[in-house]
Structure 1
Amino acid sequence: MALLAEAGPPVPPSVTGSAPRRPMMRVLKYVVAIASVCAVATVGVVVGLNRLTGAGPVTERCTAVLDGSDWYLSPAQADNAALVAGTSLARGLPARAATIGLATALQESKLINIEHGDRDSVGLFQQRPSQGWGTVDEILDPVYSTNAFYDVLVKVEGYEDMAVTDAAQTVQRSAYPDAYARHEMRSRAWASALTGNSPESLSCELAPVADADQLAPDAARDVVVGRLGRDLGLAPATGAADPNRQDPASATVTVDAAPLTPDDPERGAWAAGQWAVATAKATQAIEVHVGGRVWLRDEAAWTAAETQLDPGEVRITVDVAE
């Protein structure tokens, strides 16, 4: 426009006034409106793609909801979170201990059992052999390292009433004492779900179990039974095929979770049930039944069940080879 003005006669004031700007403003409004529609459509496509389809979700993830907020972990992180929180329950510790344990592991290793770290630190909690935490092999065993963390935490007087970051720092003696605080809300959400205090608040979006990964029924049930004992200290009530299911490509493990919370068997059931969802990637669980609700892997959600289970009872159904 500058070149045209220089080449021609002066433009009258009426031409340089506000009138010519109206079409341009309309164009800008249309551009903004179109951009907004495209942005909404893009978000919708992304959300839609991440929901389960015939091929499974684009991104596998697990979610714990607390106070209306969603807190995500990868399936691998969720699996380790299930161990950390489950161990606190098996030891009879309060949910606060699970929150502290999860916040510590999130800060130290992002809840991944890594074989490296600062100086000689390894494992979920980045514990150092040189500081008396155990051998490298011991610390890399997540069961050992989790119990080692709680062994020290329970000796901290009044840890239940301490700020999460202060309790974690007392155990860890980190060079970054305030870093644990950033993980408190995520840890609270996951601890609340995995200790049964927030029923129906944990779900995972997972791909279907691949045919090549399916195990024979007995072997598949053994995986679930082994993890129940390792993480929660529970033995199955039964390990046979569920007589209520007609699908030969699945088998069900029934467990009495009431011992986790003797005064509140329903909470124990939700703790074990949501533990089963968090570990579903590893155990190949496709259904988890608690009370009158059932988590379905295909739907990545809790829905109404056809039957009502007794308080404390949990049924975990796994995908198996035919």
Structure 2
Amino acid sequence: MRRPLIVALVTVLVVGGLGVGAWFGYRYVKQRITPEVCHVATSGGSLTLSPAQARNASVIVAASVELGLPEQAAVIALATAYQESGLRNLDYGDRDSLGLFQQRPSYGWGTEEQIMDPWYSSARFYEELVKFTNWETTDVNDIAQKVQRSGHPEAYRKHEENSRAVAGALRGSVPASLGCVSFEPDSSPDRAGLLRVLQAFGPQLTVEESDGGLSIKAADETTAWAAAQHVVANSYDAALVRVQLADREWKSDSQQWSTLRNPGEELTITAS
């Protein structure tokens, strides 16, 4: 039996020494050269997500885990959110439509405040999705349309490939496929969002704070990869700059996972 997997994540201090004006000037130029963006490998290349899109996708997928739903549910939800909002938590829309899925309070989806909560809106989407017989095997576009009842019934189809790539990364079925490039970590990290995502995995993960970062033990390799890539997707707010899983490593200055020459202990993820 394999030992538990460990995800260890640590923060890094922002290097000082620049004057305020010079620092902001340097930051402006650097961000233009290396914008903060996430990349997810697809069958035909890669797709990009902004930090906000990556964070929203993380919540949508984590909500499917928390509800005990298969990866296909996350694919459908992501395709829907891609079409409805571009994976953005919009506070406007057609008539009273709001949020990631453009749900309408007047149609009974919830209050405005509830719908603007990505966790609530994702759970409400899944609640409606599972009411349909054979939703798991129904065409992604067709089942999304049944839930949403959109005036554009074929619009979800074009998002299926990207949605499968994102879901595969964040459910752990496609390892080392999501990476993010960041400029500098926030000196005051907010890890509440990341911790909420990891909490969705329940007893499959054990999370502890360690040396200014996090230590996460996972029950199996797929869950470990899911956790590791959720961490990367939330790395901006959480101010995390390095994740290692076995012989693979992600750093914030590169969008890709690299192979280490001297890997750590098998099935152990560490960061420094």
Give distance in 2, aligned partners of 1:256 and 1:298.
25
| Letter matched to residue 60 of structure 2 | V
The aligned counterpart of 1:7 is none
**1:103 is matched with which residue: 79, 86, 89?**
79
**1:276–1:316 Cα contact (<8 Å) kept:** no
TM-score (norm 1): 0.69
Q: 1:90 to 1:257 in 2, by over 3 A?
A: farther
The aligned counterpart of 2:171 is 195
The aligned counterpart of 2:213 is 252
Q: Are positions 1:84 and 2:60 aligned together?
A: yes
Q: Are positions 1:225 and 2:192 aligned together?
A: no
**1:236–1:253 Cα contact (<8 Å) kept:** no
Give distance in 1, aligned partners of 2:100 and 2:193.
22
**2:209 is matched with which residue: 239, 250, 272?**
239
Deviation at 1:146, TM superposition (A): 0.4
Identity %: 41
Deviation at 1:257, TM superposition (A): 3.0
**2:42–2:165 Cα contact (<8 Å) kept:** yes
The aligned counterpart of 1:46 is none
Q: 1:232 to 1:315 in 2, by over 3 A?
A: farther
Give distance in 2, aligned partners of 1:88 and 1:316.
27
TM-score (norm 2): 0.81
Corresponding residue SS for 2:131:
coil
Give distance in 1, aligned partners of 2:85 and 2:269.
31
Corresponding residue SS for 2:243:
strand
**Root mean square deviation, CA, Å:** 2.2
Structure 1, residues 151-191: CA drift from partner, whole Å, max 9, x if none? 11112111111111111011111111110011111111111
The aligned counterpart of 1:279 is 234
Q: 1:185 to 1:191 in 2, by over 3 A?
A: same
Deviation at 1:291, TM superposition (A): 2.5
Corresponding residue SS for 2:54:
helix
**1:60 is matched with which residue: 21, 24, 36?**
36
* Residues 19-168 of structure 1 aligned to structure 2 (within 5 Å): 55-56=30-31, 57-168=33-144
Deviation at 1:75, TM superposition (A): 1.4
Structure 1, residues 111-141: CA drift from partner, whole Å, max 9, x if none? 1101111111101100011111111111111
Q: 1:153 to 1:221 in 2, by over 3 A?
A: closer
Q: Are positions 1:308 and 2:269 aligned together?
A: no
| Letter matched to residue 229 of structure 2 | Q
Deviation at 1:222, TM superposition (A): 5.6
Deviation at 1:310, TM superposition (A): 5.6
| Letter matched to residue 228 of structure 2 | G
Q: 1:278 to 1:224 in 2, by over 3 A?
A: closer
The aligned counterpart of 1:205 is 181
**2:39–2:255 Cα contact (<8 Å) kept:** no
**2:191–2:237 Cα contact (<8 Å) kept:** no
The aligned counterpart of 1:290 is 245
Q: 1:224 to 1:134 in 2, by over 3 A?
A: closer
The aligned counterpart of 2:18 is none
**1:185 is matched with which residue: 132, 150, 161?**
161
Corresponding residue SS for 1:289:
strand
**1:176 is matched with which residue: 137, 143, 152?**
152
Give distance in 2, aligned partners of 1:223 and 1:185.
27
**Greater helix percent: which structure?**
1
**1:225–1:236 Cα contact (<8 Å) kept:** no
Give distance in 1, aligned partners of 2:235 and 2:265.
20
**1:221–1:239 Cα contact (<8 Å) kept:** no
Deviation at 1:300, TM superposition (A): 2.9
**1:253–1:316 Cα contact (<8 Å) kept:** no
**1:290–1:309 Cα contact (<8 Å) kept:** no
Give distance in 2, aligned partners of 1:192 and 1:58.
26
| Letter matched to residue 171 of structure 1 | V
Give distance in 1, aligned partners of 2:144 and 2:191.
36
Give distance in 1, aligned partners of 2:51 and 2:182.
8
Deviation at 1:223, TM superposition (A): 5.9
